[in-house]
Structure 1
């Protein structure tokens, strides 16, 4: 199952948000095996907020980038073992899942250590010629019985801390080496079993599944020796007893941990530095969420993204050059986003991307939800300025007529209500006004420029001209733009006052008109896409 983010441009407007919502919904209906999630690249503006509230649509999730994160590549089906569990449980988890490291947790489920294949191997290779001893790492009888899948015949669960013996010697020589409290593994040898108990064995483990005689069991009870029956042979029984020690005895403390939202490029070096070549992703409480290994970091699948209402890298989600772009649906000019493989890409000169989305619903015989339809109507009316923009086509009119009937509303009344509700920007700072619908453009010569736009009812906003000019200059300097401009578009007067800072002579040439006090009057100009951007780009 693929997960695809559907996102518009930065500084999102109503068309970019509605198109993301609408196209994600449609793609999900057409491809139910995949997940299409609408996303946004910034805060929604007042107009879009009105549309969301009016329609009841859910605001898309904010994403800051599309770069690969730990949680995109980590294994989420993580096996953990409690610190007091026998080491055998770690081995079983490794074998069952074909993994080479297991996180160890405490009673609260928080990470306290890690056991690796290397750690298990070192435990065996460090053994000497002396008998194994549990003096420093006592093992519980309960863990022994669990690991052996055996049976407790006499005595109780207790800690055993002596040496481990596998008896092959004669009864007469047993007492030369054994000490009270030792763990003795012996087969079907009643005399040897009795001798071990008499010598004070702490635990007697009878192997091969052959139950000892009742007098041996009774003798164990009398002498305080715990008697365990193992279904395994003596050699395997002894090895399994060694795996009965609690995990905390050999675990490595302070394993490498990472945050699930960290970029994989930021953790790769750290993962390569630890011998087990892995990191454990933990939540805020230190509980394991997943594990990422060196293998996961080699040629990982990039995140998938579907672009709507734009095709410029400068306007797109950060990291788009690292992502797998699966489709582009736009009504602007062809941008500079590059893809690794051929993809469906639509650049269709209609009034809004929402128009293209609605057309695709109808082509597939599907209908949007009421909430999505409300957002799509708001988007078409916003981008076409209630069908008054010169970018408006007959296809936009047809889509609006369809949505009017579908929603049972009057489009012109709906649109004017939307613009009136969102045209009051008195509570916004000049920086917010400039940034909320800003688009960056680049020329063939490498020059960059920005054009912001705000639609108003009337020209009252120009009373704040000096503040707005200051905000434009700040944007220009921070980004190294040749110039920064703001279109103050009056939807009633159907014209634009263009505020400009920087190298504005080129802007004056583009429109063959002089600025008056840094403001260029552009009567009849409503569209940034069709009437402003092409003129500016042609001037360079």
Structure 2
């Protein structure tokens, strides 16, 4: 099941938030094979917060980017081992799961180290060249029994730090190198078994599954020697005993770790540089939760996103050019978003994207959740300024009538309440006003410009014209816009005062009027999408 984010544009308005919520709900109902999750690219403005509170809808998840993270590609079926587990169990787990490394954890589950195939190979080579000894890593009787799948016949579970011997010599020569506490592997030679016990062997391992006679076991009890029965031959038994050491003896400490939210572009080089070609993903408590290997980083499948209410790279989520866009649903002009494969893309000139979504619900004979329906109504009324904007179509009127009946309320009263509740921006700073509903556009010449809009009741906001122009200029300089403009739209008077900084000649060409004191009065202009943005873009 693919996870697909449904997201609108940056500086989200009511239409973009409502569209993300509603279209994700719609897609989940008509496409159950995928999971659609609504997302937002910024904090909701005051109007949208009012609509969310009024409707009871849950705000979409805030996402900062759509680039691949460690948790998008890591293997979550993680195999770990405790630092005190026998090394043999780690080797078996590697073979069973066809993996080349296993994270080692402490008793509290936190990461302690890593064991790789190279670590196992080095131990094997070391043990092949030197006498096998457990002087630095005592081994327990219990671990030996476990790795051999054997049986404890006499003695108790205790640790020993002696050397390991496989007896093939005569009984007379056994005492020349053996020392008390050593581990001795012997076949069915009773005399050699007795001699090993008399020499103080700590653990006597009898191979080939041949049980010793009672006299040997009584002598072992008397001398304090533990006796283990192995079903394996002497050579294999000795090799397996070497693998009974605890993991911490062989593991590499301080393995490469990454956080699940790290970008794969930031960790790829590090993964390629470590010899085991992998990194362990750990949570904030340093507990391993996944592993990302070199193969996971080769041509990974990109994250998926469905765009609503926009089609401009500058307005979209960071990293959208590297994501897999699965669909676009918008009521604006066709933007500069590019896709590598054909996708469903709708650019339909209605008053709001919410209108298109309501139509899709009705075409399928479906009804949205009540909270979603109220968000959709708020979105249509917001984008069409209570059906007064020149962008309003007959389809918007029909959708509003449907939602009125569905919700059992008066749309105009609802819309006026919404605008009155959100039009007071006196508590906001000038920077917040010029950025909260700002849309970035790309010109045909490669420049960028920005048009923000704030809807008010009355002219009080224009008393702050000076500070608003200063905030616009700071934004223009910081982001490199050729023009930055703010539409102060009075929904009662049905007109806009356009404040602008930058290359004012572009605005003058667009509207055929001179910009005076960085301001231009536009009676009857209420729509950024239809009446302002197209003209400025054409003149740029």
User: What TM-score comes out, normalization by structure 2 length?
Assistant: 0.98
In the other structure, the counterpart of 1:342 is: 342
Please list, as runs of the form range in 1=range in 2, the aligned pairs for 1:155-234 lying within 5 A after superposition.
155-234=155-234
Please list, as runs of the form range in 1=range in 2, the aligned pairs for 1:107-506 lying within 5 A after superposition.
107-506=107-506
Q: Deviations over 1:404-454 (max 9, x none)?
A: 111111111111111111011111100000000101112111222110001
Distance in 2 between residues matched to 1:51 and 1:93, nearest whole Å: 54
Q: Whole-Å Cα distance in 2 between the matches of residues 400 and 128 of structure 1?
A: 82
Tell me if the contact between 2:507 and 2:515 (Cα under 8 Å) persists in the aligned partners.
no
Show CA shifts across 1:139-177 (max 9, x none): 111111111122211111111111111222232332233
3-state SS, counterpart of residue 531 of structure 1: helix
2:21 corresponds to which residue? 21
| Separation of aligned partners in 2, 1:56 and 1:517 | 44
* Offset at residue 232 of structure 1 (A): 2.0
Question: How far apart are 1:80 and its partner, in Å?
Answer: 1.0
The alpha-carbon deviation at position 132 of structure 1 amounts to: 1.2
| Deviation, structure 1 residue 77 | 1.2
Contact 2:87–2:243, Cα closer than 8 Å, also in 1: yes
Structure 2: how far apart are the matches of 1:181 and 1:38?
67
CA-to-aligned-CA distance 1:490-509 (integer Å, 9 cap, x gap): 11111111011111122122
| CA–CA separation in structure 2 for the residues paired with 1:407 and 1:231 | 77
Deviation of 1:183 after TM superposition, in Å, equals: 0.5
Stretch of structure 1 that moved more, 506-515 or 296-305: 506-515
Checking the alignment, whether the CA contact within 8 Å between 2:154 and 2:226 is kept in structure 1 is yes
Q: CA deviation at 1:457?
A: 1.2
Tell me how large the CA RMSD over aligned residues is: 1.1
Q: Which runs of 5 or more residues in structure 2 are unaligned?
A: none
Structure 2 Cα separation of the partners of residues 91 and 128 of structure 1: 18
Q: Runs (4+) of structure 1 moved beyond 4 Å?
A: none
Question: Shift of the alpha carbon at 1:231?
Answer: 2.1
Partner-residue secondary structure (3-state), 2:321: coil
Aligned to 1:368, the other structure's residue is in SS state: coil
1:41 and 2:47 aligned = no
Aligned to 1:534: 534
Structure-2 separation of matches of 1:214 and 1:51: 86
Q: Which residue of 2 aligns with 1:103?
A: 103
1:130 deviates by 4.5
Q: 1:134: Cα distance to partner?
A: 1.1
Q: Shift of residue 209 of structure 1? A: 2.2
Q: Conserved in 1, the CA contact under 8 Å of 2:307 and 2:325?
A: yes
Q: Which residue pairs with 1:91 in the alignment?
A: 91
- Residue 6 of structure 2: aligned partner: 6
Alpha-carbon distance change, 130 to 524 in structure 1, aligned in 2, over 3 angstroms: closer
Segment of structure 1 superposing worse, 449-458 or 512-521: 512-521
User: Shift of residue 514 of structure 1?
Assistant: 2.3
Secondary structure in 2 aligned to 1:173? Answer: helix
Asked if 1 retains the 8 angstrom alpha-carbon contact of 2:486 and 2:500, the reply is yes
The C-alpha deviation readout for 1:297-319, integer Å capped at 9, x for no partner, is 11111000000000000100010
Partners of 1:412 and 1:237 in 2: CA distance: 86
Name which of structure 1's ranges 458-467 and 190-199 shifts more when overlaid on structure 2. 190-199
The 3 A distance-change label for structure 1 pair 510 and 129 is: closer
CA distance, structure 1, for counterparts of residue 32 and residue 240 of structure 2: 49
Q: TM-score, normalised by structure 1?
A: 0.98
The one-character-per-residue Cα deviations of 1:259-315 (angstroms, maximum 9, x if unpaired) are 111111111111111111111111111111111111111111100000000000010
Cα displacement (A) at 1:208: 2.1
- 1:342-366 CA distance string (max 9 Å, x none): 1000000000001111111111121
Provide the C-alpha distance between the structure 2 equivalents of 1:487 and 1:451, rounded to a whole number of angstroms. Answer: 7
Q: Give the whole-Å Cα distance in 1 for the aligned partners of 2:66 and 2:181.
A: 62
Tell me how far 1:129 sits from its aligned partner.
4.5
Between the aligned partners of 1:130 and 1:71, the Cα distance in structure 2 is 43
Please identify, of 215-224 and 303-312, the stretch whose mean Cα deviation from structure 2 is larger.
215-224
- CA–CA distance in structure 2, aligned partners of residues 185 and 403 of structure 1: 85
SS in 1 for 2:153: strand
> What's the secondary structure of 2:500's corresponding residue?
strand
Larger mean CA deviation between 130-139 and 396-405 belongs to 130-139
**Distance in 1 separating the partners of 2:416 and 2:93:** 64
Is the partner of 2:320 in helix, strand or coil?
A: coil
Change (3 A) 1:45 1:137: same
Partner residue, 1:523 = 523
* Matched residue SS, 2:387: coil
Shift, 1:102, TM fit? 0.6
Q: Secondary structure at the match of 1:172?
A: helix
